Amino acid sequence: MLISLLQMQPVSGDVAANLAAIAKAAEAAAVMGAELLVTPELSTTGYALGSRFSELAEPRDGAIVTALAEISKECKLAIAAGFPERDGEVVYNSAVVVQPERPAEFYRKCHLFGDMEKQAFLPSARQPHVFDLGLFKAGMVICYDVEFPEMVRMLALAGADLVIVPTALVACVGNRRVSETLLPARAMENQVFIAYADLCGREGDLVYEGHSVIAAPDGDYLARAGSGETLLFARLVPGDYSGLKAELPYLAERRPELYADVARKN
């Protein structure tokens, strides 16, 4: 499966402009034959919005998800995108995967990063789940979630071979190590593909890291962005890494009874 990944600079608070950018990328990806376009965390609204998220948040059947579904059908490819999700009086930092022939899949961020997110959103208490995406079993986490190893391991144990990670990573020395070091390690230790799509440029006082990456189950980069806007492509073939699990049987040789004992003692 050929996948594409959009590293984009958001237009803060302008849903129409951000959806237009996603549609343009989807059209380009479709021309290249891609079956999936992954876009960043809160790519439909921008990230540095604080209290404005309450105004822009929409339910799952709202205009944002409806527009993404229409783009997906027109371009004949799946699209992953972040949006602020309203559920009654509560707002979540959410992501959706829309597909032309299947129901939408949703995920709400579990690990909120920093005061801005914690003031704007409620953290989810629901585990990520696995769903069908072309020939793949896929799952989603959002940005800071992937920095907790249990999240990706949970998806790998549930059968995922592709993990989609919409991201809004702020630029600093420590955060550069997330895409350079942590993401390839997370892919290798769980033997999954990871598509990590970051924002870029500046939004208000925030400067984003960029450096989005598509990582292979052996930890290699299949594609990697610089600091500016770009559209990455990589071809994922599940069977290409079938021998890796025999060489490095991390999942098969886990001893969870040991880890559970450590957790209880601490």
DSSP letter string, 4-65: EEEEB---TT-HHHHHHHHHHHHHHHHHHT-SEEE--TTTTT-STTGGGHHHH-B-TTSHHH
58, 75, 117, 143: which is the annotated catalytic residue?
Answer: 143
Spatial separation of the C-alpha atoms in residues 38 and 108, rounded to whole Å: 16
- Quick check: is 253 catalytic? no
Spatial separation of the C-alpha atoms in residues 108 and 148, rounded to whole Å: 15
Which among 225, 156, 180, 170 is positioned nearest to 6, based on CA atoms? 225
- Quick check: is 245 catalytic? no
41, 85, 105, 209: which is the annotated catalytic residue?
Answer: 41
For 71: left if phi > 0, alpha if psi spans -120 to 50, otherwise beta; the answer is: alpha
Other Cβ atoms closer than 10 A to 33: 12
- Quick check: is 143 catalytic? yes
Q: Which residues are catalytically annotated?
A: 41, 109, 143
